[in-house]
Amino acid sequence: MDRETAWQIVCEHVQDPGLRRHMQAVEAAMRWYAGRLGEDPDTWGLAGLLHDFDWEIHPTSAQHPTEGAPILRQRGVDEVVVQAILSHNPEGSGIHPRTPLEFALMACDEITGLIIAAALVRGHKDLRQLSVKSIKRNWKDKHFTAAVDRGEVEAAVDAFSRECYDGKLGLWEHAGNVLTAMQGAAGDLGLDGRLAADGAG
């Protein structure tokens, strides 16, 4: 499946611009890591782009993404991608990460939400002006993006580090990598300062 077809699936099932932005952010992070790890950026990118495609139609942990997987299969999504998407919610799907792709998706998922929020609360609303230091400051504020479970993020990064980096990838290095990937896609994410110029948030 090519990226344009996958994006059509996203647009068909996801109406919320914020959720679309999140999925594109995870896509960017996954493509970045695939390039560094000698994996296929297109496959990894599709997993990131599609991982939450069914959240609006299956908005519970028990349903998502288990009930969405058959839709992806019907649309011709590669089973490697489907399995990765299933593994990013092991509590609901019963499928736990086993491959570098699956560990990467878990590690890149929630942290993108923190980074997006960190950009949106600043006047510039520009990822390119964001630093790891500012993200770390927001991380320490438990009221900031309270829905992001810090413990789960740390566990996901630790598991990804063990699987792909011999345990040498730390949380803040990972945050920096994801930020770099997202900065490269700032225009696609609408986080290149245009929201500040428009007076929107």
pLDDT digits (tens, 9 = 90+) for 24-77: 999 999 999 999 999 999 999 999 999 999 999 999 999 999 999 999 999 999
What's the pLDDT score for residue 3?
A: 97
Listed residue (146, 141, 147, 139) closest to 174, CA to CA: 139
Q: Which CATH class is domain 3-198?
A: mainly alpha
Q: Radius of gyration over alpha carbons of the chain, in Å?
A: 16
What's the pLDDT score for residue 94?
A: 94
Element spanning 191, H or E: none
What is d(CA 20, CA 50) in angstroms, rounded to the nearest whole number?
10
pLDDT digits (tens, 9 = 90+) for 99-124: 999 999 999 999 999 999 999 999 99
What is d(CA 136, CA 116) in angstroms, rounded to the nearest whole number?
13
Helix, strand, coil percentages (3-state) for the chain, rounded to 5, are: 65, 0, 35
List the chain domain ranges.
3-198
What's the pLDDT score for residue 196?
A: 81
pLDDT band at residue 144 under the 50/70/90 scheme: very high
Place of tokens 């949106």: 120
Element spanning 40, H or E: none
Element spanning 183, H or E: helix 171-184
Residues contacting 38, CB < 8 A, separation 6+: none
Quick check: bond before 65 cis, omega within 30? yes
Residues contacting 26, CB < 8 A, separation 6+: 48, 49, 51, 105, 108, 109, 112
Residues contacting 22, CB < 8 A, separation 6+: 52, 112, 113, 116
Angle made by CA atoms 77, 53, 148, in degrees to the nearest 5: 130
Listed residue (201, 158, 178, 186) closest to 48, CA to CA: 178
What's the pLDDT score for residue 96?
A: 97
pLDDT band at residue 199 under the 50/70/90 scheme: low
Is residue 1 within 8 Å of 74, Cβ to Cβ?
Answer: no
Does pLDDT of 201 surpass 50?
no
